């Protein structure tokens, strides 16, 4: 039982860490409201477990919060762009093809060091797209320095970081949904 107690305590500590500095929550809600108000969409991307989180959140943002959201988890898109542009560049190339000036980008990387996600953050900045990042592990990871709003989970455990990111993202989705009425 000790393992589970420590595991759950780690997740709880990471999740509640935003209470000490709620500025990422405030900034993210403002950015999500702004993109919805201007008729843009949210593009949310991650690798592995973070890609699964991106899929879940994209659907909930669209259905529950009235904010169009997409992710790039289609195997044909990913393999085509990775083959043609290199894995480290496929997300930035997808942004070139799919992002519009009124859009918002959300990038998730547990380590904050995934080259394809860091390159996408740099492309987002180059395209002047608002950017929210979710990272963990090292406090000075490169992704954390690139967004206008940056969430960081203070853990070196993939599952703790990913669960924290998912909880934060779904809390933001629920807060945004509470401010709108979406037909069921």
Q: Quick check: 184 pLDDT over 60? A: no
Q: What is the CATH number of the domain that holds 163?
A: 3.40.50.10490
The separation between the first and the last C-alpha atoms of the chain, rounded to the nearest angstrom, is 41
Q: Flag whether 8 is in a domain.
A: no
Q: How far is CA 43 from the centre of its chain?
A: 9
Average pLDDT, the chain: 96
pLDDT in tens, 29-68: 999 999 999 999 999 999 999 999 999 999 999 999 999 9
Number of domains in the chain: 1
Q: Flag whether 74 is in a domain.
A: yes
Q: Flag whether 183 is in a domain.
A: no
Q: List Cβ neighbours of 159 (8 Å cut-off, separation of 6 or more).
A: 49
Task: Determine the pLDDT at residue 180.
Answer: 76
Q: Quick check: 24 pLDDT over 80? A: yes
**Dihedral angle over CA of 60, 65, 70, 74, nearest 10:** 20
């Amino acid at each position: 039982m000790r393992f589970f107690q420590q595991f759950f305590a780690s997740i709880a500590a990471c999740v509640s860490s935003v209470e000490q500095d709620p500025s990422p929550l405030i900034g993210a809600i403002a950015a999500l409201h702004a993109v919805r108000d201007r008729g843009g969409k949210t593009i949310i991307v991650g690798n592995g477990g973070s890609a699964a989180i991106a899929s879940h959140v994209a659907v909930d943002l669209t259905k529950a919060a009235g904010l169009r959201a997409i992710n790039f988890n289609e195997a044909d898109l990913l393999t085509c762009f990775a083959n043609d542009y290199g894995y480290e560049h496929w997300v930035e190339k997808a942004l070139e093809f799919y992002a519009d000036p009124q859009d918002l980008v959300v990038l998730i990387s547990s380590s904050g060091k995934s080259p394809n996600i860091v390159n996408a953050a740099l492309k987002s900045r180059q395209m002047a797209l608002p950017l929210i990042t979710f990272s963990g592990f090292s406090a000075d990871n490169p992704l954390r320095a690139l967004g206008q709003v940056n969430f960081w989970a203070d853990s070196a455990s993939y599952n703790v970081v990913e669960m924290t990111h998912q909880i934060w993202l779904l809390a933001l989705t629920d807060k945004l949904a509470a401010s709108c009425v979406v037909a069921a």
